[in-house]
Amino acid sequence: MKKLPIGIQTFREIREDDYVYVDKTKEAYELIENYKYVFLSRPRRFGKSLFLDTLKEIFEGNKELFEGLYIYDKYDWSKKHPVIKISFSGDFRTNESTKSMILDILKSNQRRLGVICENETNVTSCFRELIEKSYEKYGEKVVILVDEYDKPILDVIDKLEVAKENRETLRALYTVIKDNDAYIRFTFLTGVSRFSRASIFSGLNMLEDISLNPEFGNICGYTQRDLDTVFKKHLQGADLKKVKQWYNGYNFLKDSVYNPFDILLFIKNKFLFDNYWFSTGTPSFLIKLIEKNRYFLPKLSNLVVGKELVDSFDIENLNLEVILFQAGYLTIDRMLEDRRGGIKYKLRIPNKEVKQSLNDYILDYLFRLKDSRTRIQDDLYDALMDARLELLKESLYSIFASIPYNNYVNNDIQDYEGFYASVVYVYLQSLGIDVIGEDVTNLGRIDLTVIISDKVYVIEFKVDGDDALEHIKEKRYYEKYLSRGKDIYLVGINFDSSKKNISSFEWEKL
């Protein structure tokens, strides 16, 4: 069997050393033939860097690397272009270090292309010289490939002033591309986020964003067909249904795709299910944003956003849903059309890996429940599977008793209903079961609906009151699930904000 290209982002190494390669050259060919200025956003570890390097080898005319691939007999290999490749990595914690890093990258390109720029102290002047002199030396238009274009901003997103300074440096850098259009054959930028045009691409307004273009929905990631063909031997004996539940589910308006990093590590580790992708980057900044804005976490399970929300965000107006989507913690469930003909997107958590890992992380670092989490999760799961409502009550009581007192100091978080619902929601989501927050009915919204095995739990929360169960019955929320042939349990939970815990727990079985 071919070797697994774990951590390898160099196309030449993959092809020459006989690693597994999922052919993405059809998408590359379509881009090259039909576009000039392209932008692609995908979550981290999705294969963006490898795709960028594939484009580099195509434009440099290295035909021998592509034998047997889609593009081999279609592309005009006689055309060879000088390629400027900018891959952002390093220290961006100050604007001075960012400028220094960019200059180092440009110097590296000068050495590779055999050109010398006279101005090596000014970022924009050096970049402009590099483009023009490369064109003059090779007599062919220049190709510009930028990997992780947004890293100098995202790395300091918690330091607003530095992020703004780095943004201005990048804006000036990318403006050079537009000013040198006559010398450029093709430009491709990739990153995690899609900043608004006004904030970073004001000088590059001809850039075409293919991130949600269905034609390129599979440009990164592995499809089910890839697993069934390219990885067939590697996955022999694996529980493919479970693999799909754990690692599939990302949707960019074409096929549902797997995260490549997950699949490669899953195979390497002899079919051990683990949070391979999630563990490569902790969403600490997201947790701070949730805490600061008191985000009502049950919204994440039933979230509909407008097209403009998915398109972009700006560092001065951060939106949690947008960041979660662009970072890969949410994905598109389906497209919707509103009454005015506009496009909306229903979002969802993509798969079991993200659902469990994200919610465990929130419990550990937002509610400080790391020490007691696993035991309570086991009890909760048993209680719901076996309809042991007393155990459910005890487990929920233990949750709030476990939250450290200092969570409440100088904080009135315990006075609002959303806090209690958010804690319970995150715990239930971490079990990997079907949980619906703000579940819509024709008479209102159910706080939480839990569906597990042959049971449905309709749950309502109230703070400093005693009518949660009666509210469910008055609104007849349960009617939505009567036709499913499952046992239905109505659960009313009332909280006492002074005691910071459950004051009464009532339930009925229909």
Q: In this predicted model, what pLDDT tens digit does every residue of 153-209 receive, in sequence order? A: 988 888 889 999 999 999 999 999 989 999 999 999 999 888 765 567 766 678 899
Task: Look at domain 11-216 and name its CATH class.
Answer: alpha beta
Cα 433 → chain centroid: 21
Distance, CA of 122 to CA of 100 (rounded, Å): 9
SS percent in the chain: helix, strand, coil, step 5: 45, 20, 35
* Identity of the amino acid at 90: G
Distance, CA of 39 to CA of 179 (rounded, Å): 18
Long-range contacts of 490-493 (CB under 8 A, 24+ apart): 490/458, 491/389, 491/392, 491/457, 491/458, 491/459, 491/460, 492/459, 492/460, 492/462, 492/467, 492/468, 493/396, 493/420, 493/424, 493/459, 493/460, 493/461, 493/462, 493/468
pLDDT greater than 60 at residue 410: no
User: What are the boundaries of each domain within the chain?
Assistant: 11-216, 224-280, 284-509
Q: Which two tokens stand for residue 33?
A: 């033939």
Q: How many other CB atoms are found less than 10 A from the CB of residue 118?
A: 8
Percent of the chain with pLDDT over 90: 65
pLDDT greater than 50 at residue 327: yes
When pLDDT is cut at 50, 70 and 90, the band that residue 500 belongs to is confident
* Contacts of residue 77, Cβ cutoff 8 Å, sequence gap at least 6: 61, 63
Distance, CA of 23 to CA of 193 (rounded, Å): 25
Token pair 């951590």 is at which residue? 7
| Dihedral sign of CA atoms 473, 475, 480, 483 in order | positive
Q: What is the DSSP letter of 456?
A: E
Residue 256: strand pairing partners: 251
Q: 222-243, pLDDT tens digit by residue?
A: 999 999 999 999 999 999 999 9
Q: What is the predicted pLDDT for the residue at 316?
A: 76
Taking residues 431-438, what's their average pLDDT? 88
Residue 455: strand pairing partners: 452, 487
Residue 250: strand pairing partners: 257
Residue 449: strand pairing partners: 436, 458
Residue 142: strand pairing partners: 184
Distance, CA of 217 to CA of 223 (rounded, Å): 10
Beta strands in 285-433 (DSSP E): 303-306, 331-337, 343-348
Q: What is the predicted pLDDT for the residue at 364?
A: 82
Q: What is the predicted pLDDT for the residue at 407?
A: 47
pLDDT greater than 90 at residue 372: no
pLDDT greater than 90 at residue 373: no
Q: Which two tokens stand for residue 157?
A: 């997103």
Q: 113-141, pLDDT tens digit by residue?
A: 999 999 888 999 999 999 999 999 999 99
Residue 294 has φ and ψ, to the nearest 5°, of 50, 50
Give the H/E segment covering residue 352.
Answer: helix 352-365
Return the SS3 of 59: helix
Percent of the chain with pLDDT over 70: 94
